[in-house]
Amino acid sequence: MSTNYLNELNASQKEAVLCTEGPVMIVAGAGSGKTRVLTYRIAHLLSKDVDAFNILALTFTNKAARSMKEKITSLVGDHEARNLWMGTFHSVFARILRYEHDKLNYPDNFTIYDMDDAKNLIRSIVKQMQLDDKVYKPSTMLARISAMKTQLILHEAYRHNSQYMENDKSSGRPYFADIFETYCKRCFKAGAMDFDDILYNTSILLRDFPEVLYKYQNKFKYILVDEYQDTNFVQYVIIKQLAARFENICVVGDDAQSIYAFRGANIQNILNFKSDYPDVRTFKLEQNYRSTKNIVNAANSLITKNKNQIPKEIWTDNDEGEKIKVVRALTDNEEGMKVTRMIFESMMQFQMHPRDFAILYRTNAQSRAMEEALRKKNIAYRIYGGLSFYQRKEIKDLLAYFRLTINCHDEEAMKRVINYPTRGIGNTTIEKIIVAANDHNISLFTVMENLGDFQLEMNSGTRERISNFVTMIKSFSAMLPITNAYDLGNHIATSTGILKDLYNDKSPEGVSRYENIEELLGALKEFSTPAALSEGEQEFKPIDLPDDLDKTIAPAPPITDSPIPGETENGRNGETEKGKTLDVFMSEIALLTDSDKKEEPENRDHVSLMTIHQAKGLEFQHVFIVGMEENLFPNSFSMNSRDDLEEERRLFYVALTRAQKRSTLTFAATRFHRGSLNNSEPSRFLEEIDQKYMEFSHSADRDEWKEQRERWSVNTTDKTYDEPVFRKDTPLAAKYKAQAKQQTANPKPQAANKKLINATIAKYKPTTESQQHLKDLQVGMMVLHERFGNGKVTNLEGVFPNSKATVEFDTEGQKQLLLKFAKLQIVG
DNA sequence: GTGTAATGCTATTGG
DNA sequence: AGCATTACAC
C-alpha cells in the first residue's frame, strides 16, 4: 500500500493516525473527518504489520462498519482487511457468545429476542402473576430491566438493594423484582437473549472465565471504538476488560453529539476517559470539512447553551454559505407541501438530485405528511426506520418458524405460530401448556414433546394436533444441517401453509404480504447460493499461554481447548454443499436495522426521510429539519430536567451539522396529533441560534410568530431561554436520578454483587445435572419445591431420571412431578 | 375453537 | 389514528 494516504490528512488527523500505541482519545467535531481518521488509522496499523486478526473496531451501525471495511479494503487490499473484526457492540459480542455459549450454559443457537418479544414475554408474566398491566406496564418494566442490566445489576443484586426495593414498594410496584427475575429465567429457559443480555453476558463471560478473557485480550491487541460518547456502562466495562492487557485503545467521539442517554449511554465515559487511562494522548479534530461557515457558526452558537463540554473550537475553511432559512407553515400538511416545493425548486434551479436532500424529524410519526407531499409531486423518497421489513407481521410469523426450527425452546416464537395458520390449538390449550411449562421450569416445546407425562385436561384431538405440530418442527430441525437456507425456508413457508394462506388473501394488504414473503425468500436465495466467502470464515491463531501472566489482567488461565471462532462445536460451519444454512442467516439478520440495509446504486437517488437519531454520521447537501415546535422538538418528554433538555439540544446540533450547503428549519402552527388538531408554538431552539446566521422567510416573519408565541405561550419568554422553567422532579424521580448518579460515579459498584451474580449463573446450570441428587429420592422423604413449598413424597414411579413423584404439599395439595424437570430439594 | 365486531388503550428517540 | 385485546355469535 502506498503511504501517500498520509498526505490526505491534516496535521491533527495525521497525528491521530500515527499514534498507534497506548490509549488515545480523539475528540472529533462534526464533519471533521472522523471516519477518515479511523479508516486510515486501521490501514496504517495494517501497513505496520499489525495482523488484522488483532484489530477490533466497534462502530455504531453495521452499515458504518461495512463502508469502513470497504474503504480499508480499497487501501490495503482484501487479503489484509478480510480478517478485521468490525461491527456494532451487539453483533461482535453476539458472535463471541455463540462461540463461548457453553461457558454460560446457553445453546450455541440462542435466539435474540427483539423488543416485541421482550414486551410480550413481560406481558404474559404480568398476566400470569395476576398483576395489573396498567400498573406494571410492559414497556415501563422492560425499560427498567434494561436500565438495570446496562448497569450490570441482575435480579438478585436488585433484591439486595433496599433502596430499589423500597422505591418499588412506595411507588406501588412491589413485584417488580419478581417480574425481573421471572423475565430473566424465562429468557434463559427459552435459550434467548435480549439486546441487553448480549452485552451483560459478555461482561460476565470476560469476568468469570480468565482463559476466555485472556484469549480475547490477546486477540484484540488494538481496539477502536467509534461514537464513544454513546456507550453505556456495560459497554464501558467490556472495553475496559478487553483493553486491560495492552491498553491500545483508541476511542473517537464528540461529547456534543451524545444523543443516546435515554438508552443508558453515559457521557461521562468520554468525559472521564482521562482518569481511566492517565497516560492517554488526546487529539482534537476541530476543522470541519463538511459545512459552510454559516452552518458551523450557527451550530457553535447553539451548543454553547449547554454546560459541561470538552472545550473545542470547531471552524471551517469552507464558503460563507447561505443563512439558515426558517419557514413557517399553517399545518403539518402544508409543512410537507412547502418542503416539497423547496426541494422541487432547488432541483430545477440548481440541477440538484433527490439524493441531495434529507428531511429530518424528531419523531417517526412526522414522516407521513412529508411522504404524502413528496408522493404528490412525484419526487423519489425513502423513509428509513419506522416499521422495518423485519418487523412486519407476516415476516415475523415466518421468522418465528425459522426460530423454532433453530431453537425449539424459543417461547415467543412458539406462542406466535403454534396456532398460525390456525390448526385448532386454541388459547385455552396454549394456557395449559404454559402453566405446565412454568410449573416445571421447562420450555413449552418440552411440554408438548412429552405431553403424556403431564396431567393436562385435553381431548385426544388436541393432543394429536400438538403432536403433529411437534413432529413438523422436528422435521424442520432435522433438515437444518443438510439443507440450504433457501430450500428449507421455502419448504417451511409452503408446508406450514403460510404461503397458501397469504396467497388466498386477495386484498391489497394480503397481496403485499405475499410479496413480502416472496422478498424474504428471495433474500434467502441470494444468501444461500454458494458464492464468496462470508465474513464468518476466519480462524484464530493458536494461543500461547505464558507463565508470567499478570493476574490482575487475566488471572491464571487454565489451558483449555476452548472453541475457536471460525468453527462451530458440531463440526460443521454453517454451510452445506448446496449453500449456507438457515441458522447462519438468522444470526446475521437478528441485529440488522433498517439503516443497515444496503442499497442498490440505481435505487439510491431519493430524498431521505429519517429521524435525527438515524441521521447521525450522515451528511446531505440540503437538510430540512421539520417540526421545530415546542413539545415536539424539544420533545415534551424531555423537558423535565436540564439534562434531558441538553440532550435535545445536542440532537438539534447533530441535525444542523448534517448539512453541507443549506439548512432549512420549518415549523407548523397547527399539527395533527392523537387524531385531533393542536396548536403549536415555534421551538425555543429557533431562538437559541445566533440570529445573525438565520433568515426568516416571509411566512415565518419573526415578529409575527413571536407574537403568535406570546399569544399561546406558556413559559418560553426570553428570560427563560438560558434557565428554562422546568417542572420539578417528583420525589421518586429525584431519588432515581440521585441513585443513577451515584452508580455512574462509582465505576465498580458491582464487585459486591459478584457472588450474587455467580449464584444466578450456577442456578442456570442444566437441570439434569443439578437434579442428580434426586436419584436417591424415596417415598416418605420431605422435599422443597420452588413454588409449592414443603411437601412429602407419597409415591414414586418410573426409572430415574424419568421417574415421576407424587408429592403431598403442605399448602398446595397433591402434585405429580417429573424429577427430570422439577426443582426439588430433599429436606432433612 | 374460530371469526368478526366493538371496545379500549396509548402515543419519543433505538441496538 | 391505529393497533391490540376483548366480547360475542357461530
Nucleotide nearest to A672 (CA to C1'): C1
A512 touches strand B (CB under 7 A): no
Residue A487 has pLDDT above 90, yes or no: yes
**B1 nearest neighbour residue (CA to C1'):** A426
Å: A425 CA to C10 C1': 18
DSSP symbols for A180-242: HHHHHHHHHHTTEE-HHHHHHHHHHHHHH-HHHHHHHHHH-SEEEESSGGG-BHHHHHHHHHH
Does the annotation mark A658 as catalytic? yes
Task: Report the pLDDT value the prediction gives residue A706, as an integer from 0 to 100.
Answer: 55
A426 touches strand B (CB under 7 A): yes
Q: Which residue has the higher pLDDT, A420 or A217?
A: A217
Task: Report the pLDDT value the prediction gives residue A810, as an integer from 0 to 100.
Answer: 77
- Which one-letter amino acid corresponds to residue A129? M
Residue A223 has pLDDT above 80, yes or no: yes
**How far is the C-alpha of A437 from the C-alpha of A430, rounded, in Å?**
10
**How far is the C-alpha of A64 from the C-alpha of A89, rounded, in Å?**
13
Å: A723 CA to B9 C1': 36
Chain A 149-208 contacts with nucleic strand B (CB below 7 A): 150, 195-196
- Chain C: nucleotides below 7 Å from protein CB are 1, 5
Task: Report the pLDDT value the prediction gives residue A700, as an integer from 0 to 100.
Answer: 61
**How many other CB atoms sit within 10 Å of the CB of residue A268?**
18
Å: A408 CA to C2 C1': 33
pTM: 0.81
**Is the separation of the CB atoms in A210 and A105 below 8 Å?**
no
- Cβ-proximal residues to A801 (8 Å cutoff; 6+ apart), any chain: A768, A771, A774, A775, A819, A820
Task: Report the pLDDT value the prediction gives residue A821, as an integer from 0 to 100.
Answer: 59
**How far is the C-alpha of A662 from the C-alpha of A530, rounded, in Å?**
46
Chain A 184-223 contacts with nucleic strand C (CB below 7 A): none
DSSP symbols for A667-687: EESEEEETTEEEE--B-THHH
Confidence of residue A603 (pLDDT cuts 50, 70, 90): confident
Chain A 285-344 contacts with nucleic strand B (CB below 7 A): none
**Is the separation of the CB atoms in A155 and A149 below 8 Å?**
no
As given in the structure block, the three cell numbers for residue A453 are 407425562
Å: A369 CA to C3 C1': 20
Q: Which residues face A696 on adjacent strands?
A: A326
Task: Report the pLDDT value the prediction gives residue A565, as an integer from 0 to 100.
Answer: 58
**Is the separation of the CB atoms in A233 and A223 below 8 Å?**
no
Confidence of residue A134 (pLDDT cuts 50, 70, 90): confident
| Tens digit of each residue's pLDDT (9 = 90 or more) over A20-35 | 999 999 999 999 999 9
Q: Phi and psi at residue A674, in whole multiples of 5°?
A: 55, 35
A587 touches strand B (CB under 7 A): no
Region A393-402: what's the mean pLDDT? 93
Task: Report the pLDDT value the prediction gives residue A531, as an integer from 0 to 100.
Answer: 56
Region A169-173: what's the mean pLDDT? 88
Residue A532 has pLDDT above 80, yes or no: no
Å: A135 CA to B7 C1': 21
| Tens digit of each residue's pLDDT (9 = 90 or more) over A736-757 | 334 333 433 333 333 333 433 3
Region A168-177: what's the mean pLDDT? 90
Region A265-279: what's the mean pLDDT? 91
Cell 409575527 sits on residue: A704
Å: A420 CA to C9 C1': 22
Residues in chain A, total: 828
Confidence of residue A403 (pLDDT cuts 50, 70, 90): very high
**How far is the C-alpha of A725 from the C-alpha of A436, rounded, in Å?**
54
Region A226-240: what's the mean pLDDT? 95
Region A593-616: what's the mean pLDDT? 86
Does the annotation mark A235 as catalytic? no
Q: Which of A15, A20, A35, A281 is catalytic?
A: A35
- Cβ-proximal residues to A225 (8 Å cutoff; 6+ apart), any chain: A57, A58, A231, A239, A249, A250, A251, A252, A253
Å: A609 CA to B13 C1': 15
**How far is the C-alpha of A91 from the C-alpha of A58, rounded, in Å?**
9
Q: Which residue has the higher pLDDT, A746 or A778?
A: A778
Q: Which residues face A789 on adjacent strands?
A: A785
A698 touches strand C (CB under 7 A): no
Task: Report the pLDDT value the prediction gives residue A504, as an integer from 0 to 100.
Answer: 82
Confidence of residue A771 (pLDDT cuts 50, 70, 90): low
Does the annotation mark A227 as catalytic? yes
**Is the separation of the CB atoms in A156 and A147 below 8 Å?**
no
| Tens digit of each residue's pLDDT (9 = 90 or more) over A88-132 | 999 999 999 999 999 999 999 999 999 999 999 999 899 888 888
| Tens digit of each residue's pLDDT (9 = 90 or more) over A666-724 | 999 999 887 778 888 899 999 999 999 999 886 665 555 555 444 433 333 332 222 22
Give the distance between the most distant pair of CA atoms in chain A.
Answer: 92
Q: Phi and psi at residue A265, in whole multiples of 5°?
A: -60, 140
Which run of H or E residues covers position A575? strand A575-576
Residue A418 has pLDDT above 80, yes or no: yes
- Which one-letter amino acid corresponds to residue A116? D
Closest Cα to residue A402, out of A219, A599, A586?
A586
| Tens digit of each residue's pLDDT (9 = 90 or more) over A424-473 | 998 889 989 998 998 899 999 999 999 999 988 888 899 999 999 999 99
Residue A551 has pLDDT above 50, yes or no: no
Does the annotation mark A614 as catalytic? no
Task: Report the pLDDT value the prediction gives residue A360, as an integer from 0 to 100.
Answer: 97
Per-residue H/E/C for A488-544: HHHHHHHHCCHHHHHHCCCCHHHHHHHHHHHHHHHHHHHHHCCCCCCCCCCCCCCCC
Task: Report the pLDDT value the prediction gives residue A573, as an integer from 0 to 100.
Answer: 59
Å: A517 CA to B2 C1': 25
As given in the structure block, the three cell numbers for residue A721 are 431561554
Region A412-417: what's the mean pLDDT? 93
| Tens digit of each residue's pLDDT (9 = 90 or more) over A331-362 | 999 999 999 999 999 999 999 999 999 999 99
Region A378-393: what's the mean pLDDT? 88
- Which one-letter amino acid corresponds to residue A765? K
Task: Report the pLDDT value the prediction gives residue A601, as an integer from 0 to 100.
Answer: 73
A421 touches strand B (CB under 7 A): no
Among A235-239, A368-372, A560-564, A785-789, the range scoring the smallest mean pLDDT is A560-564
Region A154-164: what's the mean pLDDT? 94
For chain A, helix (H) and strand (E) counts, in that order, are: 34, 26
Task: Report the pLDDT value the prediction gives residue A102, as an integer from 0 to 100.
Answer: 96
Å: A432 CA to C10 C1': 25
- DSSP structural state of residue A632: B
Chain A 787-806 contacts with nucleic strand B (CB below 7 A): none
Å: A408 CA to C10 C1': 35
- Cβ-proximal residues to A766 (8 Å cutoff; 6+ apart), any chain: A105
Chain A 629-658 contacts with nucleic strand B (CB below 7 A): 635, 637-638, 644
Task: Report the pLDDT value the prediction gives residue A535, as an integer from 0 to 100.
Answer: 42
A506 touches strand C (CB under 7 A): no
Q: Which of A69, A173, A215, A658 is catalytic?
A: A658
Task: Report the pLDDT value the prediction gives residue A778, as an integer from 0 to 100.
Answer: 80
As given in the structure block, the three cell numbers for residue A310 are 470538552
Does the annotation mark A257 as catalytic? yes
End-to-end CA distance of chain A: 73
Residue A570 has pLDDT above 60, yes or no: no
**Is the separation of the CB atoms in A364 and A627 below 8 Å?**
no
Among A294-298, A391-395, A496-500, A710-714, the range scoring the smallest mean pLDDT is A710-714
Residues A378-407, buried b or exposed e (16+ Cβ, 10 A)?
ebebbbbebeeebebebbbbbbbbbbbbbb
A123 touches strand C (CB under 7 A): yes
Task: Report the pLDDT value the prediction gives residue A809, as an integer from 0 to 100.
Answer: 76
Region A371-399: what's the mean pLDDT? 90
Å: A300 CA to B14 C1': 27
Confidence of residue A219 (pLDDT cuts 50, 70, 90): very high
- Chain B: nucleotides below 7 Å from protein CB are 1-3, 9-15
CA distances to A75, A80, A86 from A70, in Å: 9, 12, 11
- How large a percentage of chain A has pLDDT more than 70? 82
Nucleotide nearest to A431 (CA to C1'): B1
Chain A 674-693 contacts with nucleic strand C (CB below 7 A): 674-675
**Is the separation of the CB atoms in A73 and A61 below 8 Å?**
no
Cis peptide, bond prior to residue A546, ω within 30 of zero: no
Q: Which of A14, A34, A69, A382 is catalytic?
A: A34
A479 touches strand B (CB under 7 A): no
Does the annotation mark A455 as catalytic? no
Residue A78 has pLDDT above 50, yes or no: yes
